[in-house]
Structure 1
């Protein structure tokens, strides 16, 4: 059920900011961005900081890899908004739509490195079941993924598992394909701040 707060639960200055963004971008502000402006002291500021660190902080995973992780977690959670947003962002980050589509269609045959494949499998299992075991971690580590990369991937998973559930709970509106592409361009330029 979509709550009215996403439409009008903001201070006048924030509403003006949303209008300016719409005028300059040609697209309405996505609901994910609106959500962080609603009660920023309770959720927004902490969520932006954590998500930005997970997605754009120092990591041996590329930005494209982390955006792909977000898309895969979102796909497992069946969150249409986040699948669209992070598929578009991964495609732009990699500059390779076919690669992203291949991963989301059939992970086993997708043209990606074994370490990323093993990590995406582990994140899928964690998202679907809520747990992973020693065998799951051994498979990731034996594929050449470092413990630090595992931590970084788990941070991406945590950020988007929460965001997926919020997107569905608040019934985020789906942008047009052009809206998703514009949002992806913004995320690649500015991150999640």
Structure 2
């Protein structure tokens, strides 16, 4: 993919100033995911931020850490390097357990997590890879102990990160350094996606 120049230059003066302030105070460039949201916010950015914030930080029986792990897992299935880095770092920080996150991403079936989360991640992986799930897939998630509301919440996370991952790849988002992803994770856990 060729990176569109608009991610570097297509902003209003106030937005450019904001980006400079963020870089000055954080010591890191603004991630391309944020740049994309600020480019034509009336068309994409405002709606994407609101939807993603509700999916990731709205009321849910899933913890913030669980939802960040879902985002990392979905991103891994999609093969989106930027999103894998961003949400793996955020899940590690949210759980305060890097080995747990690594175990889930390495082998879901043997990872030390509860069955409702495992079954939900399995279903999200199938939906992401195949674009479809069956009634039997949903019954298995419910039989593992997830509630219908948890399934709905997980599907919202899946929608948000299937879209974001595809945009990240289409726009050739720059993959940050580990320090850059850690700074982004700290921001996401403090401020969310709004």
**TM-score normalized with structure 1 length:** 1.00
**Aligned length, in residue pairs:** 193
> For 1:144 and 1:17, how far apart are their aligned partners in 2?
45
Residues 135-190 of structure 1, C-alpha deviation per residue, up to 9 Å, x if partnerless? 11011000110000000000000000000000000000011000000000000000
Output aligned runs, 1:76-91, within 5 Å.
Answer: 76-91=77-92
Describe the SS at the equivalent of 2:29: coil
Match of 1:98 in 2: 99
Where structure 1 has 5 or more consecutive residues not aligned to the other structure, the ranges are: none
Match of 1:53 in 2: 54
Describe the SS at the equivalent of 1:155: helix
Output aligned runs, 1:18-29, within 5 Å.
Answer: 18-29=19-30
> For 1:84 and 1:176, how far apart are their aligned partners in 2?
9
Runs of 4+ in 1 over 4 A off after TM superposition: none
Where structure 2 has 5 or more consecutive residues not aligned to the other structure, the ranges are: none
> For 2:32 and 2:3, how far apart are their aligned partners in 1?
11
Q: CA deviation at 1:69?
A: 0.3
Match of 1:32 in 2: 33
Output aligned runs, 1:168-187, within 5 Å.
Answer: 168-187=169-188
What is the RMSD computed on CA atoms of the aligned residues? 0.4
